[in-house]
Chains A and B, each alone.
Chain A
C-alpha cells in the first residue's frame, strides 16, 4: 500500500499546481476531494461504498471502527475556444481517522480549499492613458503580465459519533492558512504616431485622412510588483444525520471566521533599480456560512440514489486580497447521484465493486452576474481485504461559464483517485 501513497504524493507535489482559469477570489473552491463522493454527482455527504462513509461528511465517519488513512488526488483538463489546453493538478489531500470509543471517531487531515495555482496571463492588447489624462500631455500605453500562484488550505480536526440508533452527528474544526503570491510586471510606453514604422513596438497600423499611420509604443519603464499574501483564519461545521432502513437525511452548517490577510507589496522600478516594500494587514468584515442538505433513498441493499443541495455564501476575505478585484461568488448547487454495489459472494480478495454516477448544477453568483457550472460524474470503487481497503476512481466532466474570459465556456474533464486503508490499531477487542 505504501507504493500507492508514495505515487499519489509524488504526483501531488511534483506537478505545477496549474489551475484552469479560476482567476477570482483566492481561486477556485476545491473543498470536495473524496472520489467516492465526487462520483455521486459531486456529492459531499454520501459515498456509495459499503459503509457509506464520506471523508467530507463528519457525521458519517463513525461508521468504521478501523483506523483509516485516506489520500486523494486528481487531475483536471480544461479547454476553452481560445485556450484549448489547460491542465490542473488538484492538490493531494490526506486524512487519518481513528476510533476513540464505540461509534466514536476522531480524525485530522490536510486539504486545499481554495486554489488559483500557477496562472500566467499576458495582456493581449495595449491599454491607454489618453493625452488629456496623461501628465506628459501625450498618450501613454501600457501592458501587463500576471503570474499568480498559491491559495488557502485547511488543517482540520474531526469528531464523529453515533448518537442514537438513527441519529449521528459530527463536527469539524478547520484552521485556514496559506500563501498566495503574484508577480506582475507593468510595462509603460510613450505612444508616437508616425507615417513610418520604425523603432519601438507596433501597436497598430491604420489609415487616417488617407495616410497610413503607425502607432508606435516606445518603452519608457517597467514596474515589477510582487505581492505576497499570507492568510489565516478558522472555520467550524456541524453536521447531523438521520438514517433508517430506506432513508437517510443529512444537514450541514458551516461557519467561517474572519479571514486575516497580511500583504507585502514589493515594488521594483527596473529602470532605476529602486525597490520599496509595503506590508500591511487587514481582515474581512463579515463571517461567512455554508448550508447543505442531503437525502439518500436506498432502493435495494446494494443500490440507492442521492440528492443534495448546498448554499455557500461568498468566502469572507478582504477586498484587497482577491485576484483581479473579483470577490468570491456565492455558490448554490444541486447534486444528484446513484450507486450500485456488486458484492462478491465468495470469500476472496475483493469484496465490493461500487459503481457510481451522478450530475450536478451549480450557480456561481458574482457581484456582476451568475455563472453556471453543470456536469456529470461517473466512477467506481473497489473494496477489498474484508472491506478494510478501498480504491476509488471518479471522472467528472462538465461545462461552465468562464469568469476570466467573459462569454466563453470552459469545458473540463477531471480524473480523481483516492485510496483508503483501514487498520485495527485502536479497535477495542473483547478478550477471550
Chain B
C-alpha cells in the first residue's frame, strides 16, 4: 500500500489517474480518406529491343527427349518415321525371360489423335502403315542429334528389311498393336538370351500430308508411351481346392409319391451348388439352372405331413476322379436349411377366415402414403394406373381392335420422335443462324406475324392469310419497308454488302452522325479525371484502325459506335424492341416452323419417315388437363366389376391384386421370410470314412419342430456314394430346402500358370527408347543473326535483349504491376508455321556466362491464328530486381515440346517490354 501514500493522499486522485488513462485509451482518430501527394503513381515505360544484341540461337538438342513421336508427312512436307528400341538389359530382369512358353508378344503404340472409330472405321490410311523389325548396327542415346549420315545407315537397314505383315498390325481406336511374336517366334530369345539390339520402325506413307503422332517414353507418364504386351506361361506350384464329389442325382424317399422333384443346383461354380429343393415344381429336369428359386412355380402339394418321420430323399454322389486316390473321408454338413408350411393362408390375412382380413375381400386396399397418386411398395395392394385399356403407353398400338401389345412390336409409342412434338427441332449445322436444307425442321425468321415484309399488310396481318389459298407467294401491293413494324432492324439502316450497301449501321467505318467519346486519346472524360487531354472536346474523331478491322479496339484512340447516322443501335431505334423479331437470326416464341420432324417432311408427304412421329399416348387415354376423361395416369383405379365377382378380370379396366395389405398372394406367403420355418440340424457334422463306411447314428429328435439330418451314407462302389436325408416335422410342409456342404480337398499342384502383362518400364527403368527419324536442320548463321525464330525440333530460340532494362531493374524501389507488365511481340506470319493446335512458348534466364538458366514464369499459349503474343513479365522483372535470378542478361524465348514439335514461330523485329510501375 506504499504506492498510495503521498504526494497524492486520496484514493480519488488515483481513481482520476486511472480514469484518465482509460479515457486516453478510448480515443479514436477519424479515418483519413484523402489522396496524399507523393502516394503511389503508376507510370508506363517501354523497353525496345536491342536489335544488335538480339538474335536467333541454335542449341545442341534434338527431338530424342520429346514426349511425342512422329511418323508420316509433316506439315512442311518432311517425311519422318518412328524408331522404337527395346532395351534388352532392362527386359532381362523380367520373368518373361524365364517363361516356359510364350503365346503373345505385342508392342503397342498409343496415338495422340484418334486412329479409328469403334476400332473398325479407320480415320487414317491403314494400308499406308509399314512396320519393320530391324537389327540395329548402331546404338543411340535419346539425346543424340540425328544428322543425315547417321540416318542413312538406318535407312539402308530399313530398305533391306522385310515389313511385318499387315495382318499382324492391329489398329485400334487410339493405338497400334504389332504382333511381334507371330512375326518372329524367337523374339524373346533375341532379347533375353542373345541381347540383340532390335528396333521397331513405324513408317506411314499416306497419299496426303498427314502423319501419326504417338506418345513417347519421355512423357510425364511413361505408361502412355510404347508398351510391351506379353502373354506367357510359367510352371508353378499352387494350392487348389477340389470338390470331393459330384452330384449325380437325387430321388424322393419311399414316403413321397407322385410328386415332381426333388431339385438341386448342379453348377459347381455357383455359390448355390449343392442346394436341394424338396418341393414340387412343374419342371421335368431336376436341375435348377438359375438359382435362387423364385418359388412362384411351386405347386401346392404337401411334401411332408405333420408328424412324419422318414427318409426324405436320396442323393447320389460320384467321387471326384481327379482326387479319388488322395482322399479317405468326406466331412458333410447341412447349411441354409428352411422349411415352408403347407397352409392355405400362412399369413392369416384372408377375408373369408377373418372379417378384418384384406386378402380376397373384393376391394382395393391401398393407402397412398406419399400422395403421388400411384401405388408404391409398402402401400398395400398393387394396382396399375394404365387406363381402362389396362395397357401402359409403351405397349399401346393405337389400334382399337388390338390396343395393347406387351411385346411392343405393334406399339407406336415414340417419346423421341420429332414430328408433331410441338417444338422446333433444328440444328444450325453451318452456324449461319438460319435454317438450311438438312438442318431439321424449317422455321421462318419472320417475327410473330408469320409474315415476310413483302406480304405484311401494315396493320399487323399477313396478306397471304387474307387470300383463299393462304399462300405465301401472293403478290400484293408494295407497302414499303416493314409494314407491320416487326423487323429487328426497325429503321432499315443495317449495312449489308449486297442488300443494303449504302446504309451505315455496322458498315465498319465511322460515318458523320455516329456517336463517339470525344475524350481524347486517354479515353477518359474530363469529368472524372479533372483535366482534358489533347483532342478532348474538339468534336473530331481521333481514331486509328491499327488492325484494319474496321472497328474500334482498345488502344486505337477515341471510341466510336457503328450505329449508323441515326446515332442509335437497332435496339434503341424503337420502343419495346423485344417485339421486333423478324430477321434477328433467332427463333423466337411465336415464329412459324414446320413441326414435321428432323426429316422436315410432314406426314402423308412423299418421303416422310413414318416412324418420326412423336407419340407418348398412342391410345389417347392419358389423363391431362385437356383430356380430363383420360383414365391412364389419373391417379385412381378405373375398374368396373362387370361380372360382380369382386375380382379383376380381363376387360374390366385397370388391373389390381386382391392380395391383402402384405401384397403377397396365399400361394407365396409360405415363402416369405416371416413365414419360413427354421430347421433343427443337431450335431450337423457327418464324417464318412471311405474305407470303414461307418453308418451315422440318428440324432435324438425333438418332436415339436422340423428336423433334418443325414440318416445314412453308403458307399455304392469304389466311385460313388448314396446319402439319405431324413426329415421329421411337427407340421405339414409344402417343401423345404438346404445346402449340402463338405470340406473340399486342398492339393498342391504344379501347373502352368498363364500371365498377361503390359509393361512400359521395369522398376524405375523405362523399357524403350524412341526417336523420330528426321535429321536436325542446321540454321544458316546469317539467318540466325538477322531473324528471331523459335522452333522446338531444331532447338532454335530467340535471344531477346532490351535497351536499358538492366539499369531499370537496378532500382530496387520500383514496384511492377503484375497484370500490366508484358513482353509484347508480333508474329511474322510469312515465316511462321504454327500447327492448328497452337504452340507453347516460354522464357528462360540467360546467366552471366550466357548459358540457359531456369525457366521464367509460366509458358504462354500461342494459337495458330495469333498475330501477336503477350507474356506476363511482372513477376519475372521483380525476381530480377530482387536478385533472386541473378543479373539480367537478356532472355531466351523458346518453344516447348507439349504440342506439335515442328511448329515454327518467327517474330517481327520489334518486340518490346511494357512496364507499368510505381515507386
Q: A: which residues have CB within 8 A of B? A: 2-3, 7, 10-11, 14-15, 18, 21, 23, 75, 82-87, 89, 119-140, 142, 144, 146, 184, 186, 188, 191, 193, 203-204, 206, 208-209, 211, 213, 215, 220-221, 223, 225, 263, 265, 267, 269, 271-272, 274, 276-280, 320, 323-326, 349, 384, 389, 391, 404-406
Contact = CB atoms under 8 A, between A and B. Distances in A.
Contacts of A86: 29-30
Contacts of A215: 525, 528
Interface string B6-30: 1100000010011001001101111
A144 B522 contact: no
B818 to A, nearest CB: 4
Contact of B820 (A18, A140, A278): A140
Contacts of A389: 7
B812 A263 contact: yes
B40 A203 contact: no
Interface of B: 3-4, 6-7, 14, 17-18, 21, 24-25, 27-42, 44, 515, 517-518, 520-525, 527-529, 533, 553-557, 559, 812-813, 815, 817-822, 824, 874-875, 878-879, 881-884, 914, 916, 918
Contacts of A123: 33-35, 39
A2 B3 contact: yes
Contacts of B559: 193
Contact of B553 (A122, A137, A191, A269): A137
A265 B813 contact: yes
B544 to A, nearest CB: 11
| Residues of B contacting A: mostly | loop
Contacts of A191: 523-524
Contact of B40 (A83, A137, A186): A186
A121 B38 CA distance: 13
A89 B28 CA distance: 11
Contact of A128 (B36, B520, B524, B881): B524
A139 B522 contact: yes
Nearest to A19: B29
Contact of B554 (A15, A128, A136): A136
Contacts of B875: 269, 272, 274, 276
11 contacts: A83-B31, A84-B30, A87-B29, A123-B33, A123-B35, A124-B34, A129-B42, A134-B555, A140-B820, A144-B40, A278-B878
Contacts of B522: 128, 130-133, 139
Contacts of A129: 42, 44, 916
Nearest to A132: B521
A10 B21 contact: yes
Contact of A14 (B25, B557, B822): B25
Given A132-B522, A140-B820, A11 B24 contact: yes
A124 B31 contact: no
A320 B813 contact: yes
Nearest to B528: A204
Contacts of A124: 33-35
Contacts of B883: 278
Given A3-B3, A135-B916, A83 B30 contact: yes
> Which of B7, B24, B36 has the most chain A CB within a 10 Å cutoff?
B36
Contact of B37 (A184, A209, A263, A406): A406
B44 A3 contact: no
Nearest to B813: A320
The 9 A-B residue pairs with the shortest CB-CB distance in the complex, in nearest-first order: A137-B555, A130-B522, A324-B38, A137-B554, A131-B523, A135-B914, A325-B38, A132-B521, A87-B27
B531 to A, nearest CB: 10
A22 to B, nearest CB: 12
B843 to A, nearest CB: 16
Contacts of A277: 882
Contacts of B14: 3
A324 B29 contact: no
A83 B39 CA distance: 19
Contacts of A23: 36
B717 to A, nearest CB: 84
A380 to B, nearest CB: 15
Given A15-B25, A265-B813, A278 B881 contact: yes
Contact of A349 (B7, B28, B525, B881): B7
Contacts of A323: 38
Given A138-B554, A221-B818, A320-B813, A122 B32 contact: yes
Contacts of B21: 7, 10-11, 14
Contacts of B819: 188, 220-221, 271
Contacts of A140: 42, 820, 916
B44 A136 contact: no
A128 B34 contact: no
Contacts of A131: 521-524, 554-555, 557
A278 B812 contact: yes
A223 B818 contact: yes
Contact of B31 (A10, A122, A126, A130): A122
Contacts of B518: 209
Nearest to A276: B878
A260 to B, nearest CB: 15
Nearest to A204: B528
A134 B35 contact: no
Contacts of B528: 126, 128, 203-204, 206, 215
B910 to A, nearest CB: 15
Contact of B42 (A119, A142, A276): A142
Contact of B523 (A122, A138, A220, A349): A138
A133 B40 contact: no
Nearest to B879: A276
A144 B34 contact: no
B556 A120 contact: no
A155 to B, nearest CB: 26
> Which of B29, B554, B556, B557 has the most chain A CB within a 10 Å cutoff?
B29
A225 B34 CA distance: 19
A130 B532 CA distance: 11
Contact of A130 (B524, B556, B813): B524
A138 B878 contact: no
B527 A204 contact: yes
A132 B46 CA distance: 13
Given A11-B24, A146-B36, A278 B882 contact: yes
A121 B36 contact: yes
Contacts of B18: 7
A137 B557 CA distance: 8
A134 B522 CA distance: 9
Contacts of B527: 204, 206
B434 to A, nearest CB: 30
Contacts of A139: 522-524
A193 B518 CA distance: 13
A134 B38 contact: no
A277 B879 CA distance: 8
B537 to A, nearest CB: 11
> Which of B32, B515, B553 has the most chain A CB within a 10 Å cutoff?
B32
Given A3-B4, A14-B21, A223-B818, 20 more contacts: A83-B31, A123-B33, A127-B42, A129-B42, A130-B524, A131-B555, A132-B523, A139-B522, A144-B39, A186-B918, A188-B819, A208-B517, A272-B875, A274-B818, A274-B875, A278-B812, A323-B38, A324-B36, A326-B37, A391-B7
A225 B559 CA distance: 35
B525 A206 contact: yes
Contacts of B521: 130-132
A121 B555 contact: no
Nearest to B820: A135
Contacts of A263: 812-813
Contacts of A326: 37-38
B820 A269 contact: no
A89 B24 contact: yes
A83 B818 contact: no
A384 B7 contact: yes
B403 to A, nearest CB: 58
B879 A225 contact: no
